[in-house]
Amino acid sequence: MNTLPRPRLPLLMLAAALLAAGCATPPPPAAPPPTGLAEVMERPAEKALLDGIRAYDDAQYAQAEKALRLALAEGLHSARDRATAHKLLAFITCTSARMDDCQTQFREARAADAGFVLSRSEAGHPVWGPVYKSLSQ
């Protein structure tokens, strides 16, 4: 009986392919769908923030302060939203001569969002600009 050795190369290639397939990393999970504005507005904190911004823009500062403090107490999800609430509270407290609270609000804005800065026109305001600049030094 003359037995020839079986070719092992195809078997080795198959084994290598199966091993490599088992080591492949699975694709990353799909990103969650973006959150829509209607969904955001169902959150009490974000709704209070919007109410506070509207009141501030309408020069209803007592109402704005109440809504902004409520937004922070309810737990805003976004660091930028928290910084915005603190910034507007700083503006309100500075213009009502509550300078300690003004400084605290600017500090809290920075603590909420490390990238927080006032725009050039905001930083140049004669009332809160110097307070903000004093904290930057």
DSSP letter at 24 equals: S
Q: Give whole-number Cα distances, 28 to 23, 24, 25, 122, 126, in Å.
A: 15, 12, 9, 43, 51
* Dihedral over alpha carbons 80, 81, 85, 88 (to 10 degrees): 60
DSSP letter at 137 equals: -
Note the pLDDT tens digit of each residue in 16-71. Answer: 666 666 666 677 888 877 777 778 778 999 999 999 999 999 999 999 999 999 99
pTM above 0.85, yes or no: no
Domain regions of the chain by residue span: 38-136
**Predicted pLDDT at 103:** 97
DSSP letter at 34 equals: P
CATH code reported for the domain at 38-136: 1.25.40
